[in-house]
Structure 1
Amino acid sequence: MLTPSFLLLSLFVAGGFGKLYDNAADLPGFKYDFVIVGGGTAGNVLANRLTENPKVSVLLLEAGVSNQGILPSEVPFRLSELFAPSVWNWNYTSTPQTGLLQRTLAVGRAHFLGGCSGHNGMAFTRGAAAEFDHYAQLTGDQGWSWNNLYPYFLKSEKWSPPADGHDTTGQFNPAVHGKSGPISVSLNGYQYPEFSSKVIATTKQSPNDWPFNLDMNSGKPLGVSYLQSSIGNGERSTSATGYLAAQYIQRSNLHVLVNSQVSKLVNSTQKSGKLSFGGVQFQSGNKLYTAQAQKEIILSAGVIGSVQVLQNSGVGPKATLAAAGVPTLLDLPSVGQNVTEHPTFFIVWSVNSTDTQEKVTKNATAFAEAQAQWNTSRTGPFVTSPLGTHVGFKRLPANSSAFAAHGDPQPNPSVPHLEFIFIPGGQLSSTIVLPANATNFMSIAVSLRAPISRGSININSNDPFAHPLIDVGLLKEESDVLALKDATAMALNFAAQPAWKGYIEQLITTGLDDATIETTIRSIASQSFHISGSNQMSPIGASYGVVDPDFRVKGVSGLSVIDVSTLPLITAAHTQAVTYVFAERGADLIKKRWNC
């Protein structure tokens, strides 16, 4: 439900926040050097960097609403509210998932400026250096190596003190963080000291299984680290609040149009033997408009949206397009394929403590007080993500049965297979019923970061605004279930360490014994909201993939895709930080090829 304050803000969006428009009829024109489709995590980076040159004009089209006044996005702790059906969510539903006992999933994607940077869990993890060196090998482009991308990690980030001002000595390594980028990153600004101390005690009691890692973002993520999040001064930091801050969005050469959904690319011709599109067709105010890109069209509509625009425009698998009634302009079979997601589930325990997230989630008065505290001082329980206090990355044992069928998907010993997030609460475990006779909980989110399973995204109608078929592909391969079975044993081992004696009362997640665990995993596992890879990057001249290492769509002139859909392989980390880095490098590549 839209709040009155949000509605009021939306009325003044064009006049009060720089060059932000909510109706195409108000635009001064429709010819630009670059038209960017999607004002999400990547698109806003590109809009900012390309307009650093005042001679370059950019139109940024966002299908959703302005980010202004969306309280659950601004308040870190309230992120769960964003996933309910609303105008802030695309409200996608997956196809029945064969690996999840035919369950369907609500595939949450942001429908407002900032995209999933304003809609995610805020965890800020880069991944392992070896993963990016592998990207360089997979793409044939050394520009994707860790050493060449590391400056972009620093460029995008502004390390910020936590909201509570606590002493962070020994909780991160300042030498590996940026200091002046648009995106604020910080440690938790509200503490659960009892829980946190037990996590750290476990790293000391079991250093071989659970070693402490000073900073997971050093390029060496293995071990247990303090959680880092895209939060600054107690508020979520997004591509909209950072890259489209007032000093940027007010540039005269940047126009941002919200409530403008792209239908397809139009005015196709042949240029130097390649397909070329002259314009972008979009709907605004129930009317269709066409914007012309004099240099390049850039799709940054995300793992679902960018596929949908390509296929609606006649670029994609010929059979898929024919079945949907869309004429094929370029048969590009990889568009919409290779979809990859991190399967995740929660192991929950009841605990003998009152200092958990339930002290606000189960108490309406405390919840209201926490919100009031956030409103007045940007302090208190609401300044942190509900994802928890610490994160651990681990590898599967070399003899894991998960490797029997397909081998090790991440053979480099410095790259994790698994992630464990340690949470002083049980509110995120939506597939587990919490007992009424227990009041406080802890959870470990168990996630496979190197899945074998793949899905797909395909249109099934020539209606450009119809939702596509989204097969997330979770747990299609038995290997992934076996990997999570091993991960479960690791999580139970963590909770069995002496530090938790007297604190943990009862295991709430049932069915974890050998006889039933595989069925349990398929029953309760869900997505991490990290779907990627649907427009996979591959080497120049490769017979597979959608974009070349410079993001240009294969077989098309003047068209790029720059967003998380282009990952050559899903990172063994959360996908937010890498999306910023891909966009930062993408902007430099575009500047270089257009000498701007």
Structure 2
Amino acid sequence: MSDNKSAQGHQEFDYIVIGAGTAGCLLANRLSADPANRVLLIEAGGRDNYHWIHIPVGYLYCIDNPRTDWRFRTEPAPGLNGRSLIYPRGKTLGGCSSINGMLYIRGQARDYNQWASITGEDAWAWDNCLPDFMRHEDHYRLDEGGDADPDHHNYHGHGGEWRVEHQRLKWKVLEDFATACVEAGIPRTRDFNRGDNEGVDYFEVNQRAGWRWNTSKAFLRSAEKRLNLTLWHSTHVMRLETETSGAVPRCTGVRVERPGEGEVIARATREVILSAGAIGSPQLLQLSGIGPAGLLNEHGIKVVADLPGVGENLQDHLQIRSVYKVKGVTTLNTMANSLIGKARIGLEYLLTRSGPMSMAPSQLCLFTRSSEEYKHANIEYHVQPLSLDAFGQPLHDFPAITASVCNLNPTSRGTVRIRSKDPKQAPAIAPNYLSTPEDRKVAADSLRVTRRIAGQPTFMQYQPEEFKPGLQYQTDDELAKLAGDIGTTIFHPVGTTRMGRPEDGMAVVDPHLRVRGIAGLRVVDAGVMPTITSGNTNSPTLMIAEKAARWILAGD
């Protein structure tokens, strides 16, 4: 691998992949597996050599850190009562897989069957996506001496690059919260990833032996000795290069800013693949003259292709955090609020790679229904044995847990739009949370579900007190307004370059992810999802990249 060497003599490639994040790392691996393919992988961030990337609890120090995060913010949102949120996006090798929650969740079969219906492409149906999840998976239950359930082989892979493990900790307060869920009518499950994720259990995580397992480790390191794979990190893509003299415009390469070299053009003889994420990809398309003509004209950008859907259809999961004070049980608040406790936590990780420093941001997971009108799980919980006022703030000085709930299938839609033709200026990100009556009703109902679980006998032994939001909020209007006051993103933006049928004027890419009206250009990242998956979005993005890699290599 050529690692960030001079561009001189390295300006023409078969494939150029923009973004060494979740999708880009897998694509670079798959496309360069054939030594005849010359592949360039470009990443704006630096190498993933920051120690906090690899220690699981280090996400606390990577999010909103300019070394690893683009540090975007949302536009003030009416649905959030005028608030703006931080909007983390990974800026390092591995992208968001280097700073995210490491939670392995695929979503529901109905998500992918809906994609197949929307696009008219049966390859997106669940039964045809499952093999692409399994192809790169290395699931701990299939390790030698692991879980003996033979049915795991029907849903999980072994020996792939993407490691999935159980969490290396348990908490009594979470065990009892899970029992309270069962008492509230939510079943136990042993596997969230078989197509129906309703139930409660601990999250499985993308870790290996207590370390974060990001896509840089999983897919790039195994390709490091390939001479046909060139990596340019710390390299900002300014715009796509297009040739417009033919009947159909063609993407011929990229213009980048290289450290110490200024602007350089790299050319692709076959394809440019845009994997900059649901924020970065529409931004770069718009900067390159591919997007809504009105927006491009507003900023003096020549229109190469008038695609009104670029930057539209933004969807995200908004979480509403309930905090319960508890008595008579240990939580992380009580462990970590003393020097002795912190020393014990550090020593446990040092010696065993377990304990709180090996924790993903959330430990216990449950999928259930906000009301009886839903025939499927439509809300997801991230439950933690800790509490704080806001992300990055100190833990509370009393024992407590947090039960965060999100609407899995929001009907609110937002936008990503450039503010100027300056490629260094962050785009305007407007998710428009809670902008529909349906989303506000689910928010109110989901808080009632949380209260119902907390009121079950097993959890009542801890004398739970609703510290946040507070029992004084009861009506739909009160709870919906409250959700706007305290709701925060769980960092799952999708949909801004969505795929669709040829007759769908708002579709940006076709069912094989080729940009409409532009030859030699695809988008392969979470932006192509027409609807958000019913769960965390990192592993579905890998599945998309796995499928796309085969199409790219086959010229389909």
Deviation at 1:169, TM superposition (A): 8.4
1:113 aligns to 2:93 (yes or no): yes
Percentage of pairs with the same residue: 27
Deviating beyond 4 angstroms after TM superposition, the runs of 4 or more aligned structure 1 residues are 165-170, 172-175, 431-435
Cα distance per residue 1:145-179 (max 9 Å; x no partner): 1111111111121113799x999789x95652211
* Matched ranges for 1:304-453 at <5 A: 304-353=279-328, 355-388=330-363, 390-399=364-373, 413-414=375-376, 416-427=377-388, 429-430=390-391, 438-453=397-412
Indicate conservation of the 8 Å contact 2:386/2:395, yes or no: no
Normalised to the residue count of structure 2, the TM-score between the two structures is: 0.94
Provide the aligned length of Structure 1 versus Structure 2: 551
Helix, strand or coil: the match of 2:46?
A: coil
Helix, strand or coil: the match of 2:317?
A: coil
For 1:187 and 1:577, locate their aligned partners in 2 and report how far apart those are by CA, in whole Å: 16
431 and 83 in structure 1: CA distance in 2 versus 1, 3 angstrom threshold: closer
Deviation at 1:76, TM superposition (A): 1.1
Work out which of the residue numbers 226, 229, 235 in structure 2 matches 1:251: 226
Work out which of the residue numbers 233, 237, 254 in structure 2 matches 1:280: 254
Indicate conservation of the 8 Å contact 1:198/1:500, yes or no: yes
Q: Which residue of 2 aligns with 1:240?
A: 216
Deviation at 1:368, TM superposition (A): 4.2
For 1:109 and 1:445, locate their aligned partners in 2 and report how far apart those are by CA, in whole Å: 21
For 1:168 and 1:392, locate their aligned partners in 2 and report how far apart those are by CA, in whole Å: 22
Look up the equivalent residue of 1:188 and give its one-letter code.
Q
For 1:104 and 1:451, locate their aligned partners in 2 and report how far apart those are by CA, in whole Å: 19
Cα distance per residue 1:325-359 (max 9 Å; x no partner): 21111111000000001111110011124532224
Indicate conservation of the 8 Å contact 1:162/1:233, yes or no: no
Root-mean-square deviation (Å)? 2.4
For 1:556 and 1:460, locate their aligned partners in 2 and report how far apart those are by CA, in whole Å: 24
Indicate conservation of the 8 Å contact 1:323/1:460, yes or no: no
Indicate conservation of the 8 Å contact 2:443/2:479, yes or no: no
Q: Which residue of 1 aligns with 2:197?
A: 221
Helix, strand or coil: the match of 1:348?
A: strand
Deviation at 1:517, TM superposition (A): 1.8
Helix, strand or coil: the match of 1:507?
A: strand
1:592 aligns to 2:554 (yes or no): yes
Deviation at 1:378, TM superposition (A): 2.1
Indicate conservation of the 8 Å contact 2:271/2:520, yes or no: yes
Give unmatched runs, 5+ long, in structure 1: 1-17, 400-410
Indicate conservation of the 8 Å contact 2:142/2:158, yes or no: no
Deviation at 1:26, TM superposition (A): 5.7
* Matched ranges for 1:40-51 at <5 A: 40-51=21-32
Look up the equivalent residue of 2:78 and give its one-letter code.
T
227 and 360 in structure 1: CA distance in 2 versus 1, 3 angstrom threshold: same
Deviation at 1:35, TM superposition (A): 0.4
1:488 aligns to 2:471 (yes or no): no
Indicate conservation of the 8 Å contact 2:299/2:420, yes or no: yes
Indicate conservation of the 8 Å contact 2:241/2:255, yes or no: yes
Helix, strand or coil: the match of 2:316?
A: coil
For 2:134 and 2:127, locate their aligned partners in 1 and report how far apart those are by CA, in whole Å: 12
Indicate conservation of the 8 Å contact 2:140/2:146, yes or no: no
Q: Which residue of 2 aligns with 1:265?
A: 240
Work out which of the residue numbers 130, 134, 139 in structure 1 matches 2:114: 134
Deviation at 1:377, TM superposition (A): 3.9
Deviation at 1:477, TM superposition (A): 1.5
For 2:347 and 2:250, locate their aligned partners in 1 and report how far apart those are by CA, in whole Å: 54
1:545 aligns to 2:507 (yes or no): yes
* Matched ranges for 1:17-32 at <5 A: 18-21=1-4, 25=6, 28-32=9-13
Indicate conservation of the 8 Å contact 2:132/2:546, yes or no: yes
Look up the equivalent residue of 1:182 and give its one-letter code.
E
Q: Which residue of 2 aligns with 1:497?
A: 456
Deviation at 1:429, TM superposition (A): 4.6
Indicate conservation of the 8 Å contact 1:124/1:574, yes or no: yes
Give unmatched runs, 5+ long, in structure 2: none
Indicate conservation of the 8 Å contact 1:341/1:473, yes or no: no
166 and 396 in structure 1: CA distance in 2 versus 1, 3 angstrom threshold: farther
162 and 102 in structure 1: CA distance in 2 versus 1, 3 angstrom threshold: farther
* Matched ranges for 1:519-534 at <5 A: 519-534=481-496
Helix, strand or coil: the match of 1:579?
A: helix
Deviation at 1:123, TM superposition (A): 1.3
For 1:50 and 1:85, locate their aligned partners in 2 and report how far apart those are by CA, in whole Å: 31
Q: Which residue of 2 aligns with 1:88?
A: 68
Q: Which residue of 2 aligns with 1:579?
A: 541
Deviation at 1:185, TM superposition (A): 0.9
Look up the equivalent residue of 1:19 and give its one-letter code.
S
For 2:443 and 2:116, locate their aligned partners in 1 and report how far apart those are by CA, in whole Å: 29
For 2:219 and 2:501, locate their aligned partners in 1 and report how far apart those are by CA, in whole Å: 30
204 and 487 in structure 1: CA distance in 2 versus 1, 3 angstrom threshold: closer
Q: Which residue of 1 aligns with 2:418?
A: 459
Normalised to the residue count of structure 1, the TM-score between the two structures is: 0.88
For 2:436 and 2:52, locate their aligned partners in 1 and report how far apart those are by CA, in whole Å: 36
166 and 443 in structure 1: CA distance in 2 versus 1, 3 angstrom threshold: farther
For 2:335 and 2:21, locate their aligned partners in 1 and report how far apart those are by CA, in whole Å: 31
Q: Which residue of 2 aligns with 1:54?
A: 35
1:555 aligns to 2:517 (yes or no): yes
For 1:493 and 1:167, locate their aligned partners in 2 and report how far apart those are by CA, in whole Å: 36
For 2:463 and 2:98, locate their aligned partners in 1 and report how far apart those are by CA, in whole Å: 34
